[in-house]
């Protein structure tokens, strides 16, 4: 895999990877149809690395399909991914691996089903990145990234893709069961993100809140039932609650991605987190009222924000 690594989605996660991958090896692809797009030949920003050192980063924009990359990383929001790929994928060489970094579940499966012949992979990452202001990205929490194949043609390219990503110096591993990894992360996001968005608080502050305490055990029971119906590693509701609370404590000062989306007026990923669990629960005939309630409350907050209702 000698060519360039292209990144679709120049948000915090995309900028994090671009900042760690070797200079000259990486480029951003403008979102198809985005009028703003590059405007300039390169995107310039500063990256505050985890070791506290801040470095200037300059990443060129790939504008011509003739610049076809050897690897595509997709770091768009879950809800934008399929439509963003719809015009881009036909321009890529059929053997270019596509690595999906979306939160939650559902969007990755839609992409794999849309292009079953292509090498499509999913990544599950615990790297934390945020953009406190435009032009400045912070690597807020050091994590691990697992990558696994979603389509058959992705299986033989898994090792080369992992090697290419490992040139970033970030911790990256091949996953034989990426489905389980995605579920493990989904469980955490399902227990933290919606509560932070509804309560308008940082991750650690949900723990002492009455609304969280009223619903968390029922939520964990619903998740445990859906996990076993989906054929995932079975977990007890108590273990699920421990995992959620462990991450809420270790990321206590974080603004979750969902609260950050809300604060910036962006569409949230609720449909791919609690909405996805509710949808899978219903498919298995499992009652999922708490997942549904959290989904509807976050959707309502977004609708109110759009309508300008306080
Ligand atoms: O992944 C996260 C997110 O905000 O989406 C957590 C783990 C909740 C950390 O903020």
Secondary structure of 263-304 in HEC code, one letter for each residue: HCCCCCCHHHCHHHHHHHHHHCCCCCHHHHHHHHHHHHHHHH
Please write the tens of the pLDDT for every residue from 101-115.
999 999 999 999 999
From 206, 251, 264, mutation site for ligand 1 pocket: most ligand atoms within 8 A of C-beta: 251
Overall average pLDDT of the 7-22 stretch: 96
Please write the tens of the pLDDT for every residue from 177-196.
999 999 999 999 999 999 99
Name the average pLDDT for the chain. Answer: 94
Give the per-residue pLDDT at 218: 98
Overall average pLDDT of the 211-226 stretch: 98
Residue 251 in contact with ligand 1 by CB distance below 6 A:
yes
Percent of the chain with pLDDT over 90: 85
Give the per-residue pLDDT at 3: 86
pLDDT higher than threshold 80 for residue 99: yes
ipTM, interface predicted TM-score of the complex: 0.98
Which residue has its alpha carbon closest to ligand 1 atom 6?
256
pLDDT higher than threshold 60 for residue 36: no
Element (H, E) at 64: none
Give the per-residue pLDDT at 37: 56
Please write the tens of the pLDDT for every residue from 238-259.
999 999 999 999 999 989 999 9
Ligand 1 atom nearest 189 alpha carbon: 8
Q: What is the pLDDT confidence band of residue 267, given thresholds at 50, 70 and 90? A: very high
Give the per-residue pLDDT at 35: 46
Q: What is the torsional sign of CA 176, 123, 179, 183?
A: positive
**Pairwise CA distance, residues 76 & 82, whole Å:** 10
Which residue has its alpha carbon closest to ligand 1 atom 4?
256
Of 11-15, 39-43, 150-154, where does mean pLDDT reach its minimum? 39-43
pLDDT higher than threshold 50 for residue 307: yes
Residue 170 in contact with ligand 1 by CB distance below 6 A:
no
Instruction: Give the contacts of 73 (CB within 8 A, at least 6 positions apart).
Output: 5, 6, 7, 8, 9, 14, 17, 99, 101, 123
Ligand 1 atom nearest 126 alpha carbon: 1
Give the per-residue pLDDT at 34: 63
Cα-based angle 286, 187, 282 (whole degrees, multiple of 5)? 20
**Which residue has tokens 């949808």?**
279
Ligand 1 centre to CA of 191 (Å) is: 10
pTM above 0.90, yes or no: yes
**Comparing C-alpha atoms, which of 107, 65, 119, 115 is closest to residue 82?**
107
Q: What is the pLDDT confidence band of residue 31, given thresholds at 50, 70 and 90? A: confident
């Amino acid at each position: 895999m000698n060519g360039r690594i292209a990144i679709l989605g120049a948000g915090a996660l995309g900028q994090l990877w671009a900042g760690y991958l070797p200079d000259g090896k990486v480029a951003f692809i403008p979102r198809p149809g985005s009028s703003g797009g590059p405007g300039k030949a390169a995107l310039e920003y500063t990256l505050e690395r985890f070791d506290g050192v801040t470095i200037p980063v300059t990443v060129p924009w790939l504008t011509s399909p003739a610049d076809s990359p050897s690897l595509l990383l997709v770091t768009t929001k879950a809800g934008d991914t399929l439509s963003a790929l719809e015009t881009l994928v036909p321009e890529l060489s059929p053997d270019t691996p596509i690595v999906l970094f979306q939160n939650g579940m559902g969007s990755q499966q839609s992409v794999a089903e849309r292009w079953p012949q292509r090498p499509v992979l999913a990544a599950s990452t615990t790297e934390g990145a945020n953009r406190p202001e435009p032009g400045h990205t912070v690597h807020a929490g050091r994590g691990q990234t697992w990558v696994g194949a979603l389509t058959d043609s992705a299986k033989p390219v898994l090792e080369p893709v992992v090697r290419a990503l490992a040139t970033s110096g970030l911790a990256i591993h091949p996953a034989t069961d990426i489905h389980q990894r995605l579920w493990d992360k989904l469980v955490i996001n399902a227990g933290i993100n919606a509560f932070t968005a509804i309560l308008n608080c940082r991750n650690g502050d949900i723990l002492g809140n009455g609304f969280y305490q009223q619903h968390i055990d029922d939520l964990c029971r619903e998740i445990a039932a859906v996990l076993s119906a989906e054929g995932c590693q079975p977990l007890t509701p108590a273990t699920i609650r421990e995992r959620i609370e462990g991450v809420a404590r270790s990321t206590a000062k974080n603004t979750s991605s969902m609260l950050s989306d809300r604060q910036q007026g962006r569409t949230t990923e609720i449909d791919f987190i609690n909405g996805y669990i509710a949808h899978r629960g219903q498919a298995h005939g499992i009652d999922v009222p708490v997942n549904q309630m959290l989904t509807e409350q976050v959707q309502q907050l977004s609708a109110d924000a759009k309508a300008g209702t306080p």
